[in-house]
Amino acid sequence: MIHLLAASLLWAFSFGLIKGQLAGLDPVAVSCGRLLLAAVAFSPLVLKSTLSRRTVYSAMGLGMLQFGLMYVLYIASYRWLPAWMVALFTIFTPLYVVLFSDLLERRFRPRHLACAVLAVVGAGVVVATAMPAEADWRGIVLLQGANLCFATGQVYFVRLKRRAAVGEAALLGWMYVGAALLTLAAVLVGMIGGGQPLAGWTGRAWWVLLYLGLLPTALGFYLWNKGATRVGAGLLAAANNLKVPLAVLVSWLVFGEDAAYGRVVLGLAVILGALFMARKR
């Protein structure tokens, strides 16, 4: 659980940074930069790994889904949604985690579903409000696609690790490689089509990208997927929404966005209740 909490704290700062510094930039280029940095950070482990070819290909494909496609959809949503609404519409990930896990195991676990629903309610309490004028349905659709990619990836990672019987670091390294290759190919295709992925970049944006690539991306996803292999599906699902109250608190206290302090506390309490329910036998 400590790994999931640490990753959530790292991600809590990402919402405001992306909205404030990177939202107007090419989302594919931002995703590519973050994942290339993560791949470089884990390259020593990739070079030393002795994984089978099948495991390497599986890890790269999973990285393309969980990190590559997820990041492109996630960052693109900032063009149509304010930062707090991005946090709002990520709250449905716990449901996807439980449903996909049950689908793979061909069983239905009402307790896990109840934990996921409670986590969604808790996160909804934090950020639920009237739809602002700047919200756009395209951003909501993009975020649900990102949620599905992330939920599928973290559930399947547990199965991949069990099958390969290796540590998380080597698998994550190859996942970053696959994700970086996917987003790099997308950037090149965009350039061929006349796009300008580096237009509008400033010195501050490059520093923010460096931070996001090495900490929330490289370290954050490593901690998260490592934690995913050490908890059950119900706890993993509920933990997905820890970042929501933390992100709103950070957006309020650090980035000066409006937030309701009372709802943040209440929502966090409900999510903690979901975590307690998931841990209790």
Q: Summarize pLDDT for 69-127 with one digit per residue, the tens.
A: 988 888 788 778 876 677 677 788 888 888 888 887 777 777 777 777 777 777 777 66
- 62: part of which helix (H) or strand (E)? helix 53-63
CA distance 260 to 84: 11
CA distance 100 to 20: 34
Q: What is the pLDDT of residues 156-206, one digit of tens each?
A: 988 888 888 777 888 999 999 999 999 998 888 888 877 777 788 888 889
CA distance 200 to 270: 41
Residues 155, 158, 159, 161, CA torsion sign: positive
Q: What is the distance, to the nearest Å, from the Cα of residue 277 to the centroid of all Cα atoms in its chain?
A: 23
Going by C-beta distance under 8 Å and a sequence separation of 6 or more, which residues neighbour residue 267?
Answer: 122, 123, 124, 125, 126, 127, 244, 245
Residues 10, 15, 19, 20, CA torsion sign: negative
CA distance 215 to 210: 8
Q: Where are the alpha helices (DSSP H) in 132-201?
A: 137-164, 168-192
85-102 in b/e form (b: 16+ CB < 10 A) is bbbbbbbbbbbbbbbbbb
What global pTM score does this model have? Answer: 0.82
